[in-house]
Amino acid sequence: MSTTELTSNARPRKQLSDQLDRLEDQIQRHDRILDALSEGLNDAVTDAARQGTEAAVKAAVVTLLTDPDLRTALHTASAPPRDACPSAWERLKAAVRRAATRVSQVGRAAGAAVAGRVAVGVAAVGRAVARARGRVYVRAAARALAAGLAVLALARAGVAGRLVTLSGRLRAAAGGRVAVVRARARATGWLRAAV
């Protein structure tokens, strides 16, 4: 069976597949034309932009170099301000501010370090006090220490005359307490008799 049919004027009738092939060839031809135009347009735009930028930069440089008013305005605008140098008083205030800031930072760091060490010491003293709180000899030693600290406080305050009298009384009271503590310690077996 033949796929071509004859028309009334004896020409073969065009087939749909032939028409589609012809249309596809035309589309490919148009695609090649568009691709060529696209490449040419990109090159043309790049060249035009380059030339336009080059011309604008040249015109700007020529204007900057030849226009005296513009040159003067540029020099004035780019010059540093005349009062940029601070006075001696301003420099001194700035130096004092920097020193105060540094001292404050060092003080904070030292305070934090001391606070940490004091906290450790307080915890250790607290543990020792908790262990020794019920013992008689510790109470006597604490009283003697308190008396000694009181004497030091008075000595620092400049009470020399009263200090002599008070130290004699304290020595007598502390001596009596020490004897009592030693006797109790020997009685409980905590302190040997040789001591």
Residue 181 domain flag: yes
pLDDT band at 24 (very low <50, low <70, confident <90, very high): very high
Residue type for position 106: V
Structure tokens at 31: 């695609």
The number of CA neighbours under 13 Å toward the Cβ of 7 is 6
Nearest to residue 70, comparing CAs of 57, 80, 62?
A: 62
Least confident segment among 64-68, 145-149, 152-156? 152-156
Residue type, 27: I
More confident position, 161 or 141: 141
> Is residue 98 assigned to a domain?
yes
Are residues 163 and 151 in contact, defined by beta-carbon separation less than 8 angstroms?
A: yes
* Sign (positive or negative) of CA dihedral 132, 137, 143, 144: negative
Q: Assess whether 68 and 101 both reside in one domain.
A: no
Pair 140, 129 in one domain: no
Helices first, then strands: H and E counts in the chain = 5, 0
Range of the domain at 24: 17-74
Rounded mean pLDDT, 6-17? 74
Which pLDDT tens digit goes with each residue over 115-151? 888 888 778 877 776 776 666 666 777 777 887 787 6
What value does the mean pLDDT take over residues 27-54?
86
Residue 195: pLDDT over 70: no
Averaged pLDDT, 84-113: 84
